[in-house]
Every structure is written in structure tokens, then in C-alpha cells.
Structure 1
Amino acid sequence: MSDAGYDHEPVERRWQEAWDDADAYRTSDDVDEPTYVLGMYPYPSGKLHMGHVRNYTITDAYARYRRMCGDEVLHPMGWDAFGLPAENAAKDRDTNPRDWTFDCIETMREQMHAMGFGYDWDREIATCTPEYYQWNQWLFSRFHDEGLVERRDADVNWCPECETVLADEQVEGEAELCWRCETPVEQRELEQWFLKITEYADELLEAIDDLEGWPNSVRQMQRNWIGRQYGTELDFEIDGHGAVTAFTTRVDTIFGATFFALAPDHPISEELAAADDDVRHFIEHEADPDGDEPNGVETDLTATNPVTGEEIPVYVADFVLSDVGTGALMAVPGHDERDHAFATKMDEDIVPVIAPEPDDWDGETVPDAPDVSEQAFTDDGVLVNSDEYSGLESESARERLTEDVESAAHAAQYQLRDWGISRQRYWGTPIPVVHCHDDCGSVVVPDEELPVELPEFINTTGNPLDAAEEWKETRCPECGGTATRETDTMDTFVDSSWYFLRYVSPDLEDAPFDAERANDWMPVDQYVGGIEHAVMHLLYSRFFTKVLADNEGLEHREPFTNLLAQGMVQLEGEKMSKSKGNVVSPQRIVEEYGADTARLFMMQAAQPERDFDWSEEGVRSTNAFLSRLKEMVESYTANEPDGADDAVASYVESEIDATIAIAGSEYDDLTFNRALRETQDLVGTLRSYADYTEPHAETYERGLSAVVRLLAPVAPHLAEELYEALGNDGFVVDAPWPTAEVDRDYVTKRRRLVENTREDVRDIVEVAGIEDPKAIDVVVAPEWKYDALELAIESDADNLIGELMQNSHIREQGDAAASYGQDLQAEREALSMTLGPDEEFAALESAAWLIEREFDAPVSVVRAEAVDESVLKNAEPGRPAIEIED
């Protein structure tokens, strides 16, 4: 290490090479105390950004901490390497996606190495390799065998710029833009492959309650996306077309149904369009499900209300969606805002059938109907204008009507739709299907012919696989006749839905993962990634895990026990973005300040799940802290101190214990900023100790050793250097985590006592205008006041003073007890326990040096029995009396 300061470059290079030479982060396959720590693997875009650095510093710090606690940690890294950006980049640069992707991977791997991330690189995966994506294809075949794959025509989201299908989750905002290129998304009907995630909708929803280690916000987002609604299905007879089933959550409003509506692509709508020019024109030119106002066209049909027998008009309306409910609905404009707007536009009747429940309602009389001419009443209430059901509350009426109507039945509907995995692009997993030219239809490629590898890239518009004529033409696996390969590739979320399983056995050649090893390691103990993946990736991963548990010997039905959604790194309040020109380069920071500085600054700036602003001043301050710590260790090793094991050393020992206990607890909770604040405060205490007196060698060395190990998960390079400088063998990453048997509640009370006392001394000196204190006495309260405080906290008596006076030990204090009792009564709601009198005395005596150092005056800590009553009246538990000689 350099005398000129913290020269990070040789330190970091030295220890990175040492870790590599020793294979320090390799994880054995056979373990006894497994802990699986994982960050969401990145898309290889070419360079790490600050979001990457933060994400992977979080997982790296936690993995290192758990390893020092004695766990055998799996901490792998891989690459989400398929995807449209690589394909577009290859087209722009007249290269191919594979070369582009692997160039990016090499660059990012080198940057990760420079950051000191402790990955087991023997387990590295890249989803674009045949060794990985053959198992996507194998899993597709297994899902197909289980009836979880379907091919059908579907309206899809189509990005004309990317020339591919997008999942609903990839269409962003009210403007419905592509999540990649922000092009307006169109609707097309295409034949698509689907994974039937809806088969697991109930379990996916109900198991959310058990994900106690996930943020509540993420769990709610998943509930909302699955979107289960309970209601009633019942049939309306449409003349000439028979019974048409409608779903409603408000069957209690059926007496107010004044029209019936069909989705534009409902089979009856399509039949009508063939014969009715108005319907056809509306469907082809006017229907806009995303429009600001509901729109529709009246037909010549009527529907029969199954409860009233009334004939009501039938509309084809764009606010009815074929994939929501049944694609048909009873419209009740008096009690639904959308129906109200449509009825007003079409001049249909608006009939109130639910009234607000009056405050003085007796449960029997029927209240007056509300005025719904201008606005729908959408709450539950009491039925009106509903024949024999009038006077029933909504919930009771729903039950009665569902029982009474012959065609009615309880039903559940979901917002969740089957997962369309077809993508019309090259750089993805080929769907392992061939289409026979004879009678076999679509045939799944047999396992022994996997992987179906991608052909050479053809730089063309549209889907390059369509242009790969030689690759497309093949033979049918069933009949041997001519066939054409499926040219769609899989959504890349298939890759990420099980990649965490591949890490446990990345070189396995006869299965996607070793079930026995997976059952040892899974579920992932701590998963870290961005909130933007709260729906797609996490939901699909949960789906895959449940299917594999049902069919492939996996013993766990959830993939991730604990989830942390890390916040963004911002610059001046805005997310870093190339388009905004506010990007800070991690490479520059590492070159200028070092990886440890970047890591430490990020982890201490805020809790991991919160956004924080990047600050160059903060980076410099962090670098200066590391330099000071380095100087402290060098000074200690060059000139070992020979101070006394006295009260000052005792205080420092107690602070070392407190820091170890608190920092460890904060590491457990991933609140690294608090752990690091504790550690930095301990460094400050050690510096003050050395400035005040000749330190006790064992105490000072123990403090430095604790600091080095507490910092090791976040600043591993310098920690290794200082760990060695302190005379230790081996790596600090293998060192045991420091331990201390100390009660955190006791520590909190002791620190509060010391800080309050120092603050009181400052206040007295300032108010009294004392420029040069000669001596300071700190007087601990008498024991009876501690007893009174404890009684006051435990008591629920209205007359607290009376209860205190029943205690003879307190009563014999006379007026002093009465006065203190009045104080306790006045502050009763805010009272809290303090240390006992002996503990307070010991804590203050050991901390007296801090006051002496600050005010350059001798400090005496005095017990109550050694002073006059006039002094004691100001001494209270947790707030000793202060006497200052001027």
C-alpha cells in the first residue's frame, strides 16, 4: 500500500488475481448449509450501467456476508442473451446477433470482474447457446405433453417497427407503445403458440399470501394482474341464436338491464357483419376498444332478460372484449358508468334498481330510488324496482338471484390470459414444431432431434427465419413426409422463467437441471432485481416452477423465498438515461476512485429498495473514508500502542460489541446503509480513542479487525488488504463474521443516555455562557426514581401518584416523590424504560472521556448518595443531573 494514500488500482488488481488463482468463489455441488443468492441476470447490452452496479453489489454483499456467517453460498451469473435489441444492432451494423451478443458479454464480464463481484463463473450460462435453449425446447415438449401448449388464432399486439408480437405487459401507457422502441402498437390476428398459464391461475393467486418475503407492492401487482373476480354467469336468449351466456359481478342489478352488448369479434357479431353493412362498417372502421368513449351499433336482434322476461335491444359495442368475461354482457346504465355513458349516447333507458342504504333504514321498508339520470350509482345498496327482490341488500340479492334463475351459476373470471410466446424474429429459441404437408398437422420435434438450432442470420426485413429456406424445409417426424419448420421463436421470458434452476447443474447434458441438487438449493433464498419485472418475469417463473413441481420432480412450488426490488440510481432527481445525457459511467468511477469506493458509496447512500441521487461529492467522501481507514491500520501495525485497559477501553469495547451486533442484524435485513453507518461510526470512535489517549492494543486491534470484517462484504478489496496487514492468514471472504453477545435494546438505551448527557452539558455551557469549564459532575438519579418510573410504565391506574405512594420506599421520599410523581403523570404516554442505576453509572463512567475530550475539563460520575438533595431533584433515570464548575 502506498504512503501517498489509498492507491486502489494495485490493491484491486492484486486481490482479483488472488481470488482467481485460488478459485475463491467456486461453489461445491454437495453442501450442508446451502444459501442461494441471485440477482436477476442482465441483458448483455455492452456496458454495465449504474443500475447493474447497484443490483449486483447488493447480491454480492449479501452473498459475502452469508459466506462469512458459515453458509455455503451459491452466487452465479449468466446472461439473458436472446432478444430483439441484439437483432436490431446486428442489422444496423451488418453483423450477426451472435457475434454482437458475445462481444457484449465479454465486455460486461470484464467490468463485473473489475467490480470485484464474487461469482462462481464455472456456472455461467448464456441463454443464446444451444446448450441452454435446447432445454427451452425440451420444456416446451413437456408442457405440450401435459396439455399446457395450444396453437390458435388470436388478436395480438403487433409492433410494426420491431415486426413482432408483444405480450400485453410489453405494451406501455395509455398511448399503447412498444416497450422497446416506443412505436404505437397495432392489433393483428395471427396464429400463435400459447402456454396455458390460466390453468394455474387459482394457485398463482392464492399462493401470493404465502410469499411473506416479497414486498407487499409486488404481491399486490401480481394479484391485480391475475385479476380474479367472482360473479354469476347466466343465459340471455337472443332471437335466432339461442342462449348467450353473460358474466356479471352485479346480478343484483339485473332488473335495470336495458340493453345487451356483444364484443365486435363475438361469433354472433361476425355473423351479423356478413349480412349487415352497418355492423360490418362499425367492426372494420369504427370499433376502438381503447377510445375515450364507448361506441357501438344497434342490431336488429333482441335479448330476453331471464329474470323479467323483457326484450331488450342488442348492440355490438367496442367496450365489450371477447377475452374478458364471455364477450357478452348485460348493460345496466343506472349502476355502471361505462354503460351509463353508452346509454346516454344511444338514448337507451336508464333505470335505477339499487338505492343507497339510508342511515336509519329498518331493514324492511324499500327506500326511494336514486336519481341516476346524470350519473350512475355504482355502490352496493338496497334493491328497488326489482319486484319481489325489492328491499333486499345487494349481497343477499346476488345469492338469491343466482339460486332462483335456472341458467345462473356462480363463476369466477380472470384478467390473466394465456401466455402467447410466439415472436416473429430470429434471435430467440426456435419453437420445436414442424408443420407436416400431409395429414399430421403440427408435430413437436422429438427429444432426440433437439436442439433445433438457429440457422445463419439473414439480414432481411421481417422475420429472418422465413427467409432461411433450406433450414425451413424438413421432414415430418411422424410420417417422414415433407414439412416446414415453425419460424416463430419463443418469447425471451421463457428463458428467464427457469434459468435459476440451470445454475445448479449448468453442464448437465441429459436434463435441464439435476432435480436432486435443485431440491437442495431451491428455492432461491434472496432474489434481487428491478420492480419493472414484478409482473412478467416473476409470474412466469412462478408458473414454470409449479409445472416443474407437478411433472419433473421439483419439490418446491415457489422459486424465490425473499425478493428485494432495488431502487433506481438517479442524477439530480431523474433516472439515469442515455437519452437524457445524465449517465455516470461505472468504468470512470472505478478508474478514478476504485470499485470499493463505488460499491461502498452506493450501499451507504440509501436502503436498497429506495431510489437515490448519485453524488460526486459523496463518492469523494467515501474514498476519503477508505483512505483514513487504511492510514489507521498502517499506523497501528507500524506502532503498536501500549495503553491501559481502563474505563475508556471498556467504553470502546462496548461500542465494538454494539456495532458488531447491530451491523450483523442490519446485514440480515439487507439494510446495508444502516450497517455501514454503524461501522463508520465505530471508525470515528476508534479515531477519537487514539486521539484522546494511548489505546489499549488488544482493544484497538479488535476494533480495527471488526471494522475490516464488517466492511468486507461491501469493500472486499481493501478489506482483504487490511485483513492481511493485521496479521491474518487466508482471505477475509473466508473469515468468520465477528460476533458479540450484546442486547440491542441495552445498546440503544446506553447510547441514548450518553448522547443525551453530552447534549445537556453542551446546553448548559451555552446557556450559562461558560467559556472554560473547570470541572463537570454527572449525577446519577437515586434508585427510588427508577422504581417509580418502572411502576408508572406498568400501571394502568387512573391515580398514578396514589399508586406510587403505596410503595413505602417511594412514599418516604416525601415532597420529592410527589413532585416526581406529578412529572410522571404528565408525561405518562411518552414514558419508556431506561437502564438501571448501576448500569447507568457504569455506562456514564466509561463514556466520561468523551465529555472530557470535548470540553477539556475533568468529569466525575457521581452516585446519588454522594450529593445533596438540591442536586438530586434534577437527576432522573436516563437524564442525570449536571453540575459544572466555572
Structure 2
Amino acid sequence: MDIERKWQKKWEKAGIFQANPQGGKKLFLTVAYPYPSGAMHIGHGRTYTVPDVYARFKRMQGYNVLFPMAWHVTGAPVIGIARRIQRKDPWTWKIYQEVHKVPPEELEKFTDPEYIVEYFSKEYKRIMKAMGYSIDWRREFKTTDPQYQKFIEWQIKKLKEKGLVRKGEHPVKYCPECENPVGDHDLLEGEGVGINQLTILKFKLEDSYLVAATFRPETIFGATNLWLNPKEKYIKVKVDGEKWIISEKSYENLSQQKKDTKIIEEINPEELIGSNVKNPMTGEKHPILPAYFVDPEYGTGVVFSVPAHAPADYIALRDLKKDKKLQKKYKIENTLEGIKPVNVITIEDYGECPACEIIKKFKIKNQKDPKLDDATNELYKIEHAKGKMSQHIPEYGGKPVAEAREKIAERLKSEGKADEIFDFAEHPVICRCGSRCIVKIMENQWFIKYSDKKWKNLTLECLNSLRIVPEEVKANFEYYIEWLDDWACARRIGLGTPLPWDPDWIIEPLSDSTIYMSYYTIAPHLKKLPANALNDEFFDKIFLDQDNKLKIDEKMANRISREFNYWYPLDWRLSAKDLIGNHLTFHLFHHSAIFPPSKWPKGIVVFGMGLLEGKKMSSSKGNVVLLSDAIEAHGADVVRLFLMSSAEPWQDFDWREKEVIGTKRRLEWFREFGEKIFNIIGSERLSVSEIPEPTSFIGKWMMDRINLRIREATKALEGFQTRRALQEAFFLLRKDVDHYMKRIRDRVDEEAKDVLRYLLSVWIRLMSPFIPHTAEEMWEKYVGDGFVSEAPWPRVYEEFISLKIQKAEEMVQETVKDIMEIKKILNITPEKVHVYVAPEWKWRVLEMAYEIGKPDMGALMGRAISEGIHDDKKELADFIKRVIKDIVRGEYPGRVDEHKILSDAKDYIEAEVNARIMIHEDAEYDPEGKAKNAIPYKPAIYLE
């Protein structure tokens, strides 16, 4: 920890991460700035370590790298949090004391929302510095800064000028506590959950209606009964003059979508069980039955049952028919006898009851079987894509399901027998303030028109012009560009920038965080300017090179413009995969609308999510490890090393304490190894320019491995493959080094010292982006010249990389393994081991095989005979068969001097197998005829 603080202070004092426009190659990368309403956890640690590793790597490659950071403090969640703190809400106090570890004296101040974001932004910055992030802190800003708000005003006005902002009504995610629409940025749970439109079907019951919400109104022809959950509370409500019976928990969602709603009375669902309702389409009578699987929060808490096409309905009905006790309780024994599945949809390869068949396919046992959801999803998709309404359905028989669905819904609505409601695809959706969100129809709301077809096409052009890591998520972007509808871009309350033409509204957080990457490039200059000088003409000049009348000095404006044009376009944008559906896609929409193609982003990297001991991390459930605690327990470099090696950035990672402790031991080994090598080489300072040229085979092999690892690690880092880079740069190189040390044993001559000196110089630099504090400490001790953070990235010397050398050492290692295996099989301890190398004629046959390319038996045999390679045709034929079957693979490594290589490794082999080694070029001594088994790269062995 002391070492980490030491280097953080040195970096800051030297200002080595402050990026200014200058000659040479530039690299500008950003990661989503945090919304600081809670403490930083290890998931955040992975998010911000990936760009730091890449930034450090590219600096060492000679790039001028800009890696900035800011604080996203706009929005309403902190207002909701402040309210809950003020009224001493127990859940909120517990979360902030126990999970976020806010001291009580600080928590008392959380009644002020601005203090919350101030507190956590300072905490974030402290921890980011503790992690060693190479951030240019001069560019830091908050989204409530007056200069930034002028920038946001300019952005939203640009969209309005282009006709991409409108006013209207739309269903939105809404937090009743915050009294505001919410986006995914505002949520603790439910990120990425969509809003679905459901049809409400009205089943007549005396003077009221039981209203059931459904995706599939076309299945009304197959209804057999209604389900209510007897454990839940139901109410009768007045809606537009009608009396509806719904669950109590669904009322708030419904009331925000229907204008004229009022609770009349509470209803006991158990008193309704066994009653009959009237089908709004067929007029048939259906009984009301009990079902505990009914979710009271989803839709209306009332479900109509279609057992032929809904696996959950079929299972629930089957379970109820077996439950004599429940039947007796509700007096429905006779009612159940006549209920049978009714077919509505015809699908190829399915019979009259598709739900029955899919239940058998998935081997579902009961309503609690987790496979039930999978079965339901599969059947619904098949029926929607391939199903047709069965011929016996009047008017709609033979029509595709999708077509019939729309027509049936419209007909029932027009007849007053149906309505509609919006609900989340999944529950719960929880705001950062801790409240459950609902769907609300917002009126007179400002929307950004992501539905605009021309804009969608332009955004697709932008998408196709950039690189995405990993490539497969490009399809997700294409889907969301097409899928996105108009987006509620303003709210009534919260922190943020007022809408310039309608200041009663505040621009919402996702809408004010789409092109802020451009603001980083000029932030240091803007801090020195008054906000009222930053008019629209100023930003037109800076970002779009438009000449206008300015309120600031023209020379200064030109200097600011040059800095923007130096850094832009953005080279890489990094963010989590759950933001593809909003922030990252908005990022592309807004860049394509506001900037010319030359300033469009060039790359996006998408992150996976974080797990904790195999379970999803959740701050609201306390299932997190704070990054500050992880640093305190293990050190920043250990945390960094684990996060970068446990998974590739786009994969989900799993924080497991045992594995983190294992990583700590590996880092300790690396430090100890450096000390050991430095002592071996005689405490002579390392050099980045001295390249040894060993003459021994094992020295050449070690140079091969070092340069191979440099090449592969570099290639991996270029593609943001941090795990693969560490596999090469640390784990595999360590394995190589262990073998090399074993091979040279105690014979550390001058050549070995040169190789080890080169190894240590390279290795510290390779590891520097991952474990910068440790690397700096080792660099100071063993090199003593500047920062390793500014040292050149190790160069790959391709001339040292040799397939022949790799194959030759592989032969030595395989020879040792083969001897040990034979010893084990024969259960003997030999005094001597005879090793026979392949004869000249076998090498020539192998070379011929590679020369021919794809040899067949006849061609190779014919050529070998014509050249008189070997007299024994049977032995020749047997070897050719083996060559064709097993040996000819990929590139020919080249002929190696097996006798010399094995002779050089003789001491090593003898020590490994604990026997005297005799290496033979001929077969003069071959009492058991083993020599004939020798083939190129695989000597024959005889134990004596």
C-alpha cells in the first residue's frame, strides 16, 4: 500500500498523464462517467481498469494518450435518496450505512441531494487514484457545471433545429417517489427491461369486469377459465365509468395510464373462486380458479387460462386437478371435470395441445420448475413466427397469428370489450432511490425522435464506419437502432440543465450524456471562461468550424478549436453491454446528427457484467464488494491483475475471494523473482536497448519465447483482450522462465545473465499496464531511469522467433516425458537410457512430404523409390503411411540437429530422469531394435 501511494504521488507531481496537443500519434479514449449516488464496487473497478490498461499500453507505444474523467450528477434519483434519508427510511439508511459504508455523521447530511453527489464524486476520485488510473484530472467536470450546461443547451438546440425533438405523449418508466421518468442510468435493478403493450380483455362478472392483461388476445378463443391469486389483495376500481376488478399491487401502474380511476372497495379473491365470467369474444362462461403463480404486479393481476397454448396454464390446471384439498376448500370439484384444453393455433409438427407437447419435451414436473419459462418462451416464439389460427376459428381461421392478433385486439377495443395497458417485460424495476418504478403515460412531454427513419439510416452509416469489440454485438446495435422509439428527454424535477426553450423542464441524464466526450477536449479552457460567454456561436465555432461573432477573444477560440480538432474524433468509447439499448446507441445517433462523418466515433468496446462468488452483484441487496475494501485487503495491483485476468472485458467476470488470494501470491512471486534475477545477474542495471544474441540452443529458445510472448501480448492488447494478454505476458511467460531456469540449472554463465537481464527489462514493461505500482518499484530498483509508465513498449524481434527452435525444445521436453512414461510402465529404475535420433532417410521423406504439399501414398512412395532414399521398401512404406497420417501438419519447422540438441541438453535430461543418457546417431548398439522407431522430432528410447 505504501508503494502504491508513493507512485501515485510521483505520477501526479510529474504530471505524466496530462495530455496536451503535440506532434505524433494521438489516442483519445473514454469510459462512461459514473453517476456517483453510491460507493464504487469491484464491478466499477473492472469498468475503469480496462481503459487504463489500454491507455498505459498505448502511451508506452509512443501514442499521445488522453484518458479523462468526469461526474454525471444530473437526474432525479439523488433527490429521491435525499427524501428517504430525510424521513429516516430504514431500508435506505441500512443500505448506505452497511453497503456503501457512509459514516453516520456524513449520512445526516444526505438530506441535500447535491451533497450526496459531492460526497460520492470525491470518494470515486479518491479510489480511482488509489487504483492508479492514468487519468488527466485537469479535464474533470460535473454535469451541473454552468459551462457544461451551456454545452448541453447547444446540443439539444441543434437537435431541435433539425426537427429531431417533438412534444407529445408516450409511455415511460416512472418513479413515483422521484415524480419523474427514469432511464437505465437511474436504476438499481431492471436495467434494459423494455415496456410492453398489453391488451386488457374484459370478462363480465355481474355489474363488474374481471380484466385480464395479455400479450396474446388471439388466444381468447381457447380460454377455459380465469386465474386469481388467493394470497393477494384485489380491489374494485372505477375506470372511465366501468367497474374493474384488479390486484391491489397493479393499481398504481394502471392509475398512471388511465385518467379517470378511483378505488371503490376491497375484494376478497377467495369469494370469487368458483364464480363464472363471460368471455368477451365467444360469450362462453368460464370459472374463476385459484393459482399462486399469478404475479399481482404484472398487468392487472388477473390471468385468463389457455391450457392448450400456455404451458403454465396447463401445469397449473393439472396440479389443481390433483389437489383434492384445494378443490374441496373452494368447492370446485365438479367444475374442474369439464375443463379441457381448447386448440386455437395450428403449428406444423404439433398436435391439438402444443403446450402439452412442449412440457413433455422439457420434462417439466410442476409450476415451480425453472424450465417452465424456457418452454413458454420457445412455444410463444414458434406460435408467433409459424402459427396460424386453426380453421375452426370463425372469421380468423387460417390467418397468421401476428395478423389475427392485431385484428382481434382492434375489434374488441372498438366494441368496448377490451382496452390496453403498458407494463414492464420483467419485474422488479427499482429506481436508485429505492422505489419500485411503474409505467406512466406522460403528456405534453418532450421527446427525442429516435423513430425518425432518415436519422436511423444515418446512424447505421455511423455504426458501419466504426470498429466494435466484440464484433458479434454489432447485431445488438443494429437491432436497437431499428427498435428505438421516441425517448422522453426531459423531466420536471431533478438536477441538470433546463430545456432552453421550455425551462420548466430539465434535460434527463441519458439525453445530456451522448456527446460529452467532445467536451473533455476543451474542458480545461472552458473552466477559465465565464458561462455567459459560451453561446451557441461559440460551440458552432469550436465543434463545427463555423465562423460566427464570439464573446471571447478570437485567438483563444482558435486555440480551443485546434485542441478539439487534434483530439477528435474519439478513438474508443467503452461502456457496459446493458447500455447498448440506450446510452451507446444514443451516442451514435447524436454524433451522426450533430457532427460531420470525419468526427464520428471510431470504436466502441462493450463490457460484460460482474458476479460475486457466482451470483449477480446488486447494491440494493448488499451483494457487492466495495472497491475500497478490495484495495485495503489485497492492494490495487492485485485487484487490477485479478480483474484483467479473470475474463475478457466483454465477458462476465466472477469475483471469487480464493482466486483473488491466489492472484496475490502470483504477484508476490513476480516481485521475488525480480529480486532473485537481479541478484543472479550481479546487480547490474537493466537496459531497454541491449539485446543479447546467445549462441547456446537453450539461450536461443528463451529469446524465442520472450519475443513470442511480446508479440502475442501486444496483439491481444490491441484488441482489448486483457485476459489473453496476461496469459501470454505473465502466466505462459512464467512457465517458459521456469523451464529455462530448470534447463540452465546452476550454470549461470555470462550468456545466461544477458538473457535474464533482457528478460527482466522486458517483463517489467509488459506487466506495467496491469500492475503499474509494482512495475514502477521494480523499474526504479533495477533500471533507475525515469518511469516505466513512459518507457518504450518492448519491441518484437522477429528474427529470434523460430518454429525450428520451438520444435527442437519441444522434442527435448517430450523425450523426458517419454522416458518417464516408459519407466512407469516397465516399473524399473534404469542405469542407462539409450536415445536414438532419426536417420537421414526419414528426414528426407518428411521434407518430400512437405514439398509435395498434400502427399498421397503413391506419389510419395514413387518419389522416394526413384531417389533411392531407402532400400527396405516395407520399412519405407510403413514410415510414409505414418508421415501422411500423423506428422504432416501446418508449416514445416525445418530440419534440426537432434544429436547436437540432445547432447547440449544431456545434463538436464539426466537430472530429470535420474539415469545416464547415451545419445546415438547410428544403431550400432541396439539390443532390442528400438532405433527403427525413431522419427524426426521424436527419438526412440531404450532403457537398460
- Scaled by the length of structure 2, what TM-score is found? 0.62
> Using the alignment, how far apart are the partners of 1:162 and 1:15 within structure 2?
43
Q: In the alignment, does 2:722 pair up with 1:672?
A: yes
8 Å contact from structure 2 (residues 850, 892) kept in 1 = no
8 Å contact from structure 2 (residues 808, 898) kept in 1 = yes
Indicate how the Cα distance of structure 1 residues 623 and 166 shifts in structure 2: closer, same or farther if over 3 A, else same.
Answer: closer
Indicate how the Cα distance of structure 1 residues 579 and 649 shifts in structure 2: closer, same or farther if over 3 A, else same.
Answer: same
Match of 1:30 among 12, 22, 39: 22
Measured after TM superposition, the shift of residue 761 of structure 1 is 3.2
Q: Which residue of 1 is the match for residue 120 of structure 2?
A: 104
> Using the alignment, how far apart are the partners of 1:844 and 1:129 within structure 2?
71
SS in 2 for 1:761: helix
Matches within 5 A, 1:230-629: 415-434=483-502, 486-509=503-526, 510=534, 511-512=538-539, 514-550=560-596, 555-557=598-600, 559-561=601-603, 563-629=604-670
How far does the alpha carbon of each residue in 1:342-374 deviate from its partner, in whole angstroms, 9 at most, with x for none? xxxxxxxxxxxxxxxxxxxxxxxxxxxxxxxxx
> Using the alignment, how far apart are the partners of 1:712 and 1:618 within structure 2?
21
> Using the alignment, how far apart are the partners of 2:683 and 2:525 within structure 1?
59
SS in 2 for 1:488: strand
SS in 2 for 1:883: strand
Q: In the alignment, does 2:43 pair up with 1:51?
A: yes
Indicate how the Cα distance of structure 1 residues 863 and 191 shifts in structure 2: closer, same or farther if over 3 A, else same.
Answer: farther
Match of 1:633 among 661, 665, 674: 674
Q: Which residue of 2 is the match for residue 84 of structure 1?
A: 76
> Using the alignment, how far apart are the partners of 1:849 and 1:121 within structure 2?
57
Q: In the alignment, does 2:786 pair up with 1:730?
A: yes
8 Å contact from structure 1 (residues 89, 97) kept in 2 = yes
8 Å contact from structure 1 (residues 781, 880) kept in 2 = no
Which amino acid is 2:19 matched to? T
> Using the alignment, how far apart are the partners of 1:686 and 1:824 within structure 2?
33
Q: In the alignment, does 2:378 pair up with 1:127?
A: no
Measured after TM superposition, the shift of residue 813 of structure 1 is 6.2
Unaligned runs of 5+ in 1: 1-8, 228-414, 435-485
Q: In the alignment, does 2:203 pair up with 1:144?
A: no
Measured after TM superposition, the shift of residue 87 of structure 1 is 1.7
Q: In the alignment, does 2:139 pair up with 1:116?
A: no
Does 567-576 or 811-820 show the bigger shift? 811-820
SS in 1 for 2:523: coil
8 Å contact from structure 2 (residues 462, 588) kept in 1 = no
Indicate how the Cα distance of structure 1 residues 588 and 870 shifts in structure 2: closer, same or farther if over 3 A, else same.
Answer: same
Unaligned runs of 5+ in 2: 87-110, 185-191, 196-423, 527-533, 544-559, 685-693
Indicate how the Cα distance of structure 1 residues 84 and 865 shifts in structure 2: closer, same or farther if over 3 A, else same.
Answer: farther
Measured after TM superposition, the shift of residue 531 of structure 1 is 0.4
> Using the alignment, how far apart are the partners of 2:459 and 2:904 within structure 1?
57
Measured after TM superposition, the shift of residue 713 of structure 1 is 0.5
Match of 1:17 among 9, 22, 33: 9
Measured after TM superposition, the shift of residue 719 of structure 1 is 0.4
8 Å contact from structure 1 (residues 596, 716) kept in 2 = yes
> Using the alignment, how far apart are the partners of 1:844 and 1:656 within structure 2?
22
Indicate how the Cα distance of structure 1 residues 220 and 809 shifts in structure 2: closer, same or farther if over 3 A, else same.
Answer: farther
Measured after TM superposition, the shift of residue 751 of structure 1 is 6.5
Q: Which residue of 2 is the match for residue 174 of structure 1?
A: 425
8 Å contact from structure 1 (residues 804, 821) kept in 2 = no
Which amino acid is 2:746 matched to? T
8 Å contact from structure 1 (residues 531, 566) kept in 2 = yes
Measured after TM superposition, the shift of residue 49 of structure 1 is 0.8
Matches within 5 A, 1:761-840: 761-771=819-829, 774-775=832-833, 777=835, 779-780=837-838, 782=840, 783-791=843-851, 793-795=853-855, 799=858, 801-802=860-861, 804-805=863-864, 808=867, 810=869, 814-827=873-886, 831-838=889-896
Measured after TM superposition, the shift of residue 717 of structure 1 is 0.4
Measured after TM superposition, the shift of residue 772 of structure 1 is 5.2
> Using the alignment, how far apart are the partners of 2:183 and 2:38 within structure 1?
25
SS in 2 for 1:494: coil
Q: Which residue of 2 is the match for residue 67 of structure 1?
A: 59
Match of 1:222 among 455, 473, 477: 477
Q: In the alignment, does 2:751 pair up with 1:683?
A: no
Measured after TM superposition, the shift of residue 843 of structure 1 is 6.6
SS in 1 for 2:512: helix
SS in 1 for 2:769: coil
> Using the alignment, how far apart are the partners of 2:578 and 2:786 within structure 1?
41
SS in 2 for 1:29: coil
Q: In the alignment, does 2:776 pair up with 1:760?
A: no
> Using the alignment, how far apart are the partners of 1:431 and 1:30 within structure 2?
37
Q: In the alignment, does 2:676 pair up with 1:659?
A: no
What is the identity percentage for the equivalent residue pairs of Structure 1 and Structure 2?
28
Which amino acid is 1:629 matched to? F
Measured after TM superposition, the shift of residue 715 of structure 1 is 0.4
Measured after TM superposition, the shift of residue 850 of structure 1 is 5.4
8 Å contact from structure 2 (residues 37, 116) kept in 1 = no
> Using the alignment, how far apart are the partners of 2:445 and 2:683 within structure 1?
78
SS in 2 for 1:838: coil
Q: In the alignment, does 2:454 pair up with 1:202?
A: no
> Using the alignment, how far apart are the partners of 2:683 and 2:499 within structure 1?
73
Q: Which residue of 1 is the match for residue 746 of structure 2?
A: 693
> Using the alignment, how far apart are the partners of 2:790 and 2:659 within structure 1?
30
8 Å contact from structure 2 (residues 73, 144) kept in 1 = yes
Match of 1:702 among 747, 752, 758: 758
Matches within 5 A, 1:857-876: 857=915, 870-876=929-935
- Scaled by the length of structure 1, what TM-score is found? 0.65
Does 867-876 or 612-621 show the bigger shift? 867-876
Indicate how the Cα distance of structure 1 residues 194 and 174 shifts in structure 2: closer, same or farther if over 3 A, else same.
Answer: closer
> Using the alignment, how far apart are the partners of 2:25 and 2:922 within structure 1?
53
How far does the alpha carbon of each residue in 1:424-447 deviate from its partner, in whole angstroms, 9 at most, with x for none? 32222211124xxxxxxxxxxxxx
Does 864-873 or 521-530 show the bigger shift? 864-873
Indicate how the Cα distance of structure 1 residues 841 and 80 shifts in structure 2: closer, same or farther if over 3 A, else same.
Answer: farther
Aligned length: 632
How far does the alpha carbon of each residue in 1:114-158 deviate from its partner, in whole angstroms, 9 at most, with x for none? 111111111112212222122111222222233332223445454
How far does the alpha carbon of each residue in 1:90-110 deviate from its partner, in whole angstroms, 9 at most, with x for none? 223343222211111001100
Tell me: higher relative CO, structure 1 or 2? Use CA pairs within 8 A at least 6 residues apart.
Answer: 2
Q: Which residue of 2 is the match for residue 467 of structure 1?
A: none
SS in 1 for 2:524: coil
Which amino acid is 1:160 matched to? P
Q: In the alignment, does 2:756 pair up with 1:740?
A: no
Which amino acid is 1:833 matched to? E
Which amino acid is 1:30 matched to? Q
